[in-house]
Amino acid sequence: MRVLAIFAAALLLAGCPGNQPEDESHTGPAQTSTSASNPQAVPENSTAMNPVSPPQKDLPGNRTASAGPMTTVQLTEYAINLPDALPPGPTTLQIVNAGKESHSFAIEGNGVSQKLAADLPRGDTTTLTLDLKPGTYRVWCPVEGHRGKGMERTLAVH
Q: Could you give the domains of the chain? A: 70-157 (2.60.40.420)
Residue 83 has pLDDT above 60, yes or no: yes
Q: What is the pLDDT of residues 5-52, one digit of tens each?
A: 565 555 555 555 555 555 554 454 444 444 444 444 444 444 444 444
CA-closest candidate to residue 99, choices 144, 139, 138, 146: 146
- Average pLDDT on 48-62 reads 43
- Average pLDDT on 110-120 reads 96
Indicate the pLDDT class of residue 68, thresholds 50, 70 and 90. confident
- Average pLDDT on 50-71 reads 53
C-alpha count within 13 angstroms, C-beta hemisphere, residue 117: 3
CA–CA separation, 103 and 74 (whole Å): 10
Return the DSSP state at 142: -
CA–CA separation, 139 and 106 (whole Å): 6
